[in-house]
């Protein structure tokens, strides 16, 4: 996926580190699977079932960054994808 996107002219960041702060104190560090063109968070899951916390995980990533759009890809017995949007106060549109 990364190679195909790069060949098509997209900027792809893999295992992008993000720190989560609350009131100036660092609470956690996240590792995002992919960030495409500094606009889209991509989280990739595989396995038989998709845990309900997977969508919350992507929303947390969006809230920890200035990004608003996420894509959750689940490669299970029946591959599925989920588009997620979270208006973000850190952006001009939020």
Note the pLDDT of residue 91. Answer: 58
What's the Cα-to-Cα distance from 80 to each of 44, 55, 65, 94, rounded to whole Å?
A: 11, 13, 25, 28
Query: Where do the domains of the chain lie, and which CATH numbers do they carry?
Result: 2-85 (3.90.320.10)
- Looking at every residue in the chain, the average pLDDT score rounds to 89
Radius of gyration of the chain (CA): 14
Does 93 have pLDDT greater than 80?
no
Cα distance between residue 51 and residue 10, in whole Å:
29
Maximum distance among all Cα pairs of the chain, rounded to whole angstroms = 43
Q: What is the pTM of this model?
A: 0.82
Q: What percent of the chain has pLDDT over 70?
A: 95
Residue 8 pLDDT greater than 90, yes or no: yes
DSSP 2: H
Closest of 48, 45, 90, 44 to residue 67, by C-alpha: 90
């Amino acid at each position: 996926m990364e190679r195909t996107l790069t060949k098509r002219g997209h900027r792809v960041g893999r295992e992008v580190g993000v720190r989560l702060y609350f009131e100036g104190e660092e609470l956690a560090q996240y590792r995002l699977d992919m960030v495409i063109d500094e606009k889209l968070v991509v989280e990739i899951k595989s396995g038989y079932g998709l845990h309900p916390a997977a969508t919350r995980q992507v929303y947390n990533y969006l809230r920890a960054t200035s990004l608003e759009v996420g894509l959750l890809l689940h490669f299970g017995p029946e591959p599925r994808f989920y588009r997620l949007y979270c208006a973000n106060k850190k952006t001009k549109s939020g």
